[in-house]
Amino acid sequence: MALLDIENQRLRQRVRELEAALRQMQATQTRLLEENTQLRTQVQEVGRHAVPRSDGRVYERVEATFRVDGLNSRGETAMGVARNVSASGAFIETDLHLLPSENMTITFQLLGRPFKLHAEVVRIREGGVAVRFATDPQQQATLLEVLARF
């Protein structure tokens, strides 16, 4: 009889452990569903703004001006000034030597905090470069929100 009692205790303990694991998985699932809903809302917001204009651009350009710190693919750093900004790109006045299709990392202040993103050089003009931002949906939504204030 003692062996049966010991085995019963082990089984009850295992059931409690499985129930605790199940509660933890349910809490994780609930959190993930909430995050998914938030991301879906952000993506829908970005999609509402993603309507090509007559010039082929998807996002409206804003005459915003702000300092940008850049790092090109060769490890060279420079400061510049972003102008004519949209949620998908900007013209950056800089003396940093960049090549067409070169990838770079740029950082600027957004809502009082550093905002870092990747960009690709799409055009080189005298005095600067036009870049296309490579953003995730959350960065895109943040950019749209901030640029709407200009």
The residue extents of the domains of the chain are: 1-49, 66-147
Superfamily of domain 66-147: predicted glycosyltransferase like domains (2.40.10.220)
Query: 67 is written with which tokens?
Result: 């300092």
- pTM, whole model, 2 decimals? 0.59
Mean of pLDDT over the chain: 84
Q: What is the pLDDT of residue 138?
A: 84
Q: What is the pLDDT of residue 27?
A: 94
Q: What is the pLDDT of residue 24?
A: 96
Q: What is the pLDDT of residue 40?
A: 81
For the chain, which ranges sit under pLDDT 50? none
Given its phi and psi angles, is residue 98 left (phi above 0), alpha (psi -120 to 50 degrees) or beta? beta
Which residues fall within 8 angstroms of residue 146, CB to CB, at 6 or more apart? 110, 111
Q: What is the pLDDT of residue 9?
A: 94
